[in-house]
Structure 1
Amino acid sequence: MRKAAPLVGIIFGAIFIVAGILVWIVVSTTLSSQKITVSSDAPCSAGRNVAGPISAYCQATVIDEHTMKITGGKTYAELDKDDPNRDTAMTSSFLQASLFTSVVAFGVCAMAIAVGIAFVFFGVALREPRSAPAAAA
C-alpha cells in the first residue's frame, strides 16, 4: 500500500490535469465557433470575441443590461403574458444561462487542474526516500 498510494496519487493527478485542460479547450473552442463578440458597451472585454470565462461573463452581464432597458427593468417572470417584450426577455434569459454555464465549466476545469496538481504533489511527497549510499569506512 505504501508504494501504491504515491503512484495512484500521481496517476489520478495527471488524469485530472489532462481532463481539465482538454475540457477547457473544448469549451473555449465551442464558444469561439459561435463567433460572439462582446458588446461595445460592456463593462469589460468590449469588442473581444467570447472564448473564455471573462468574456463570457462580460457578455452575459451586458445582455442583462440591454434586456432590462427593453423591458423597463422587469424580468421574464415579471412581464405580463401578452407583453411584446416577453420573447426578448426569454431569449435573453437563455443566452445568459448558456454563457454563465460556460463560465461555470471553466471554473470546474480550473478546479480539476488545481486538484490534479495537488494529487501529483501529494503523490510525490508520499514516495519513500531513496536509501543513501553507505558511508565509506
Structure 2
Amino acid sequence: MTTIARTTSTTPTGNRGVRIVGIIALIAGLVMIVAGAVTWATVSSQLSAQNITVSEDASFLAGDEVDGPFSAYAQAQIIDQHALDATDGLTYAELDREDPRRDTAMNASFLRASLFTSVVAYGVSALVIGLGVLFGLLGWSVRSLAVEAPPVKTAAEA
C-alpha cells in the first residue's frame, strides 16, 4: 500500500481587494466623524446666535441658553405649554378661523417645529458620528486582518 503525503500551505496569500476595502471603510469613517461634528457645531452656533433662553418655568434646564439638543427640547416643550395656556388647551387646528388666539397658536407651532428640527439635526449628527466610529473600527479591523502576500520568487531564485 502506498501512502501519499499531502502538505497544506499556510502561507498567507494576501488579498489586495480586502485591504483596499479596509482603507475605504477607514476613510469613510473619518469623513463621517468630521461631517457629524461639523454639523453639530453648526447647529449649536446657529441656535446660540439666536440668544434664546429656556423659559424660567420650564420643567428642566430653566434659564439655560438654547445651544444644544436638550435645551432646544426644553424650550419647545414650554412653548407648547404656554400656547395651550393662551388658547385654553386648544391647538391651532381646533381654534375657529376667526379666533384671534389662532395666530398665537400658529407662531408657537412654528417655533416648536424649528426647535424640534434642530433636535433632529443633533440626533442625525450623533448617529453619523457613531456610524463613523463603527466604519473606522471595521475598516481598521479588515485592513489588519488582510495579510500581505509574500514576494513571489522567480525561477532563478528558487
Q: After TM superposition, is the score higher than 0.5?
A: yes
Structure 1 equivalent of residue 123 of structure 2? 107
Take 1:90 and 1:52, find their aligned partners in 2: how far apart are those partners? Answer: 24
Structure 1 equivalent of residue 91 of structure 2? 75
Does 2:47 match 1:31?
A: yes
TM-score by length of 2: 0.81
Dislocated runs of 4+, deviation >2 Å: 128-131
| CA deviation after TM superposition for structure 1 residue 128, in Å | 3.6
Name structure 2 gaps, 5 residues minimum. Answer: 1-16, 149-158
2:85 partner letter? K
Higher alpha-carbon deviation: 121-130 or 92-101:
121-130
Question: Percent identity of the aligned residues?
Answer: 50
Take 2:78 and 2:18, find their aligned partners in 1: how far apart are those partners? Answer: 54
Does 2:143 match 1:127?
A: yes
TM-score by length of 1: 0.93
Take 1:102 and 1:11, find their aligned partners in 2: how far apart are those partners? Answer: 27
| CA deviation after TM superposition for structure 1 residue 9, in Å | 0.5
| Larger relative helix fraction | 1
| CA deviation after TM superposition for structure 1 residue 2, in Å | 1.1
Name structure 1 gaps, 5 residues minimum. Answer: 132-137
Count of residues paired in the alignment: 131
CA RMSD of aligned residues (A): 1.1
Secondary structure at 1:45's aligned position in 2? coil
| Larger Cα-atom Rg | 2
Structure 1 equivalent of residue 9 of structure 2? none
2:78 partner letter? V
